[in-house]
Amino acid sequence: MGHGCQRCHRGARSCKSRLVVTRRVAGDGVVTTEVVHGPSPEFEHEPAGGEYSLTLVGHYTTTPGWTCGGVTEHEYESDQGAKRLNELLGMRSIFHHWWLGQCAACGGELEEGARQLVGPVVQQFFAPPT
């Protein structure tokens, strides 16, 4: 059931092997995501049917200090825009939790990992074209 983070097994506050994230969505709604990693996760809330997913692939490059990659596949459960936004929020929570756990397991600091997780991508996404 673990996700690679050795700190989880030492009781660190910043990382837990099970995570529950609740956030507000359009209108008065809320969506809660339960995150459990591993090949056979045991959820407290029973999954109801289909899945939504994404596959991302990365590569080293021949240019020193560079990697490349992207999402190669994705699948939504719903065809409704609002539900797809909920699925995106769920995938975001799942990936962020996994990524921070892996960062810690590889010897990284969680605070720096959190800054690296969002900051550079969001800043470049909204930067004016050059």
* Eight-class DSSP state of 37: -
Residue 91 located in a structural domain: yes
Retrieve residue 101's tokens: 């756990």
Residue 63 located in a structural domain: no
Per-residue pLDDT band at 16 (split at 50, 70, 90): very low
Residue 94 located in a structural domain: yes
Q: How many domains does the chain have?
A: 1
* Eight-class DSSP state of 14: T
Q: Are the beta carbons of 67 and 59 closer than 8 angstroms?
A: yes
Residue 38 located in a structural domain: yes
Instruction: List, in sequence order, every residue forming a beta bridge with 74; answer none if it has no partner.
Output: 54
Q: Does the pTM exceed 0.85?
A: no
Domain of 32 in residue numbering reads as 6-51+78-126
pLDDT at 9: 38
Q: Identify each DSSP E strand in the chain by its residue range.
A: 18-24, 30-36, 53-60, 67-75
Give the SS3 label for residue 63. Answer: coil
Top-confidence residue, 40 or 14: 40
